[in-house]
């Protein structure tokens, strides 16, 4: 089944399959920060992100969000639709943290008046620079219609996930999404895990996401396990 490696990312590998329209996505036991400059193998991370993404994508799909997910193959790999990747990362923010806090020198944890949407151009050599709507249109990365759809879809996803995580006693601070073109529509690709979102325990304010690795404040595996436990049990 597993064929040629077609893409090796920081947290996942993509392989071609017998079907030209599908890819095999395998989650790695690798954690990175500083855009890949800091790397570490953490046993069990791939499986946790695989399990968490499955739960979130299933929830989103059930609520009308189209995703690339087709089926699971084993406990670290899944079959997904092959899409034409849009080289943008879309970040949604509900509260101030990370680069936003730094950029505007604002207090971490403050609630934003309304959700902020930002785009970053996916390019490791350039460290994924910020890109605005006008730049996106000018270098032909997306059409106006696609932009409207993406922003709408991102806010819809936020409206679904905020109450969902809240019911698990988790505060969804911000998250990153990626999308691809597939059969005349745009679908959600990549993953949704504590690698690409910020989740704070509502009772203690503790981070239960990749910030524990970025800032060396705790065990990544214990934090991700706690997230999974709440998604399954609550």
Q: Which residues bind ligand UDP (CB under 6 A)?
A: 89, 91, 97-100, 128, 174-176, 196-198, 210
Say if CB 67 and CB 77 are below 8 A apart: no
* Smallest separation (angstroms) from ligand UDP to the CB of 190: 9
Say if CB 199 and CB 227 are below 8 A apart: yes
Instruction: Give SS3 for 175.
Output: strand
Cα 211 to Cα 203: distance, rounded to the nearest angstrom: 18
Of 57 and 100, the one with the shorter C-beta distance to ligand UDP is 100
Say if CB 50 and CB 76 are below 8 A apart: yes
* Smallest separation (angstroms) from ligand UDP to the CB of 160: 17
* Smallest separation (angstroms) from ligand UDP to the CB of 140: 23
* Smallest separation (angstroms) from ligand UDP to the CB of 199: 9
Of 109 and 185, the one with the shorter C-beta distance to ligand UDP is 109
Cα 216 to Cα 58: distance, rounded to the nearest angstrom: 31
Q: Which has the closest alpha carbon to 65: 160, 151, 143?
A: 160
- Which residue's beta carbon is nearest to the bound ligand UDP? 98
CB atoms within 10 A of CB 194: 26
Q: Which helix (H) or strand (E) is 187 found in, with range?
A: strand 185-189
* Smallest separation (angstroms) from ligand UDP to the CB of 207: 10
φ and ψ of 189, to 5 deg: -125, -165
Of 71 and 216, the one with the shorter C-beta distance to ligand UDP is 216
Of 143 and 215, the one with the shorter C-beta distance to ligand UDP is 215
Of 11 and 187, the one with the shorter C-beta distance to ligand UDP is 11
Of 89 and 226, the one with the shorter C-beta distance to ligand UDP is 89
Structure tokens at 184: 């005349």
* Smallest separation (angstroms) from ligand UDP to the CB of 176: 3
């Amino acid at each position: 089944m597993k064929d040629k490696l077609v893409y090796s990312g920081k947290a996942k590998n993509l392989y071609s399959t017998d079907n030209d329209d599908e890819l095999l996505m395998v989650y790695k036991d690798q954690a990175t920060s500083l855009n890949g400059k800091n790397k570490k193998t953490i046993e069990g991370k791939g499986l946790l992100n695989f399990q968490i993404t499955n739960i979130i994508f299933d929830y989103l799909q059930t609520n009308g969000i189209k995703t690339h997910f087709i089926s699971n193959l084993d406990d670290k790999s899944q079959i997904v639709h092959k899409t034409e990747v849009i080289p943008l990362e879309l970040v949604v923010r509900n509260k101030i943290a990370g680069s936003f806090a730094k950029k505007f020198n604002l207090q971490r944890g403050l609630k934003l008046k309304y959700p902020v949407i930002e785009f970053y151009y996916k390019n490791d050599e350039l460290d994924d620079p910020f890109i605005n709507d006008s730049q996106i249109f000018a270098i032909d990365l997306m059409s106006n219609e696609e932009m409207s759809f993406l922003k709408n879809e991102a806010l819809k996803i936020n409206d679904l996930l905020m109450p969902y995580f809240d019911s698990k006693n988790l505060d969804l601070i911000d998250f990153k999404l990626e999308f691809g073109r597939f059969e005349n529509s745009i679908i959600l690709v990549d993953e949704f895990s504590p690698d690409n979102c910020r989740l704070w325990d509502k009772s203690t304010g503790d981070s239960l996401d990749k910030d524990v690795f970025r800032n060396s404040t705790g065990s990544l595996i214990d934090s991700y396990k706690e997230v999974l436990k709440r998604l399954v049990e609550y």
